[in-house]
Amino acid sequence: MTVQAWAASTGYYLGDSLRQLGLRELEHQRGDAADSERHGVKGGIVVYAERSKDFVLVDGVKVVLEDAVGSLRGHLTISRTDYEKVFVPLLWGPPRAATAVRRIVLDPGHGGKDPGKINAALGYAEKAATLDTAARLKIALEKRGFEVVFTRTKDEFIELSDRPDFAARTKADLFVSLHYNGGGAGDTTSSGIETYCLSPEGQRSTNSGKAKATTTAEPGNRFDSGNMALAWGLQRQLLSLTGAEDRGVRRARFAVLRTLSCPGVLVEGGFISSRKEGAQIKEDAYRQKIAEAVAIGVAEYAARVRPAQKTQN
């Protein structure tokens, strides 16, 4: 491919684009198998990328990209959308909010006739795990001065579209949907935590769902920067407190995220279908860690977007 054709189709040199965001190249390794680069500043966020990988590590946390990391003339490259929708929000931070983040909507996934994922051997269903996690998270968030509202407080069925509508009606500042994952039939070994935010306009979903090819704009895309920053911050805390496998920050056009009127994410706090991880999730202590991690991540996000102090005239 010619350089011009590459520039039109792909995007930017990783190093150049990160330098624009204030990072320096700390290290690069060239080889036939794996070119890699590390960029950062002392005391700041470090980005690690490897050629052909569909993700980068941002402070050690996997962020799944729209396009795999490329390479041109010995330097790694990234797509323009990944620059705009991943690197800018994470390294510059989301814009400050007009008013402080105060009211959080917690959305315990599934309920009633919809049990979500099930671990039959343990007799444990996702809908029970998410409701319990939400109750723990409420306490953790209230301790930090937030106000919490639930989309459901008991074992009842709620339509997917009613969940973001609820956030709009209650004028929420943030929305967090809580889920636990499940593998395919007979899968008892898949494990790890992933956090989703809405796919930006023009970007595919990074999950393997049927909406992968869709690239439409959604109302929730107003909050792309906040969504990404919140997802990454929560994922980082979740991994740190649980030690779980990192399945990455991902993007999808989930129904609960599409029409949100505030920034929001969907957390998959581990595989309930897993023999090992499912048993952990069934333990109170594990769900408490998930709750604490989300609370810390929300508080960090709120601090990051806190409105600037008004100066007196």
Q: Which helix (H) or strand (E) holds 9?
A: helix 3-9
270 in Cβ contact with 118 (< 8 Å): no
What is the CA 85 to chain-centroid distance, rounded? 13
Tokens of 162: 């009613």
- Whether residue 235 contacts residue 195, with contact meaning beta carbons closer than 8 Å, is answered with yes
Residue type, 187: D
**CA 27 to CA 48: how far, in whole Å?**
9
Nearest residue to the partner Zn ion, using Cβ: 179
Least CB distance from residue 126 to Zn ion, whole Å?
5
The total number of residues shown for the chain amounts to 313
Contact mark string toward Zn ion, 57..96, x via CB under 5 A: ----------------------------------------
* Binding of Zn ion by 116 (CB under 5 A): yes
**Min CB(275)–Zn ion separation in Å:** 19
Choices 116-124, 198-206, 215-223, 252-260; region in contact with Zn ion by CB under 5 A: 116-124
Residue 108 lies near Zn ion (rule: CB under 5 A): no
Q: Where does this chain touch Zn ion (CB under 5 A) — which range of 16-24, 103-111, 151-159, 226-234?
A: 103-111
Is residue 111 within the footprint of Zn ion (CB under 5 A)? Answer: no
Stretches 79-87, 102-110, 279-287, 290-298: which one binds Zn ion (CB under 5 A)?
102-110
Compute the least distance from the CB of residue 125 to Zn ion, in Å: 10
Tell whether residue 109 is a contact of Zn ion (CB under 5 A).
yes
Stretch that binds Zn ion, among 30-38, 82-90, 175-183, 282-290 (CB under 5 A): 175-183
Which window, 141-149, 163-171, 179-187, 221-229, contacts Zn ion (CB under 5 A)? 179-187
**Whose CA is closest to 302, among 144, 148, 134?**
144
**What is the sign of the dihedral through the CA atoms of 106, 109, 112 and 115?**
negative
**Contacts of 60 by beta carbon, 8 Å cutoff, 6+ apart:** 46, 48, 236
267-279 burial: b if 16+ Cβ within 10 Å, else e: bbbbbbbbeebbe
Residue 163 interacts with Zn ion (CB under 5 A): yes or no: no
Residue 182 token pair: 């499940």
Nearer to Zn ion, 83 or 254 (CB): 254
For 48, the token pair is 């690690």
The CA distance from 231 to 298, in Å, is 10
Give the single-character DSSP code of 4: H
How near is the Cβ of 179 to Zn ion at its closest, in Å? Answer: 3
* Part of the chain binding Zn ion (CB under 5 A), chosen from 94-102, 108-116, 151-159, 239-247: 108-116
Cα 201-108-98 angle, rounded to 5 deg: 50
Please, which residue, 101 or 267, has the CB nearer to Zn ion? Answer: 267
Q: Which is nearer to Zn ion, 40 or 109 (CB)?
A: 109
Structure token pair of residue 127: 């809908």
Residue placing its CB nearer to Zn ion in the complex, 57 or 118: 118
- Nearest 5°: phi and psi at 31? -165, 170
**Nearer to Zn ion by C-beta: 109 or 200?**
109
Q: Which of 62, 127, 152, 179 binds Zn ion (CB under 5 A)?
A: 179
Contacts (CB under 5 A) with Zn ion, residues 267-286? none
Pick 39 or 179: Cβ nearer Zn ion: 179
- The contact set with Zn ion (CB under 5 A) reads 109, 116, 179
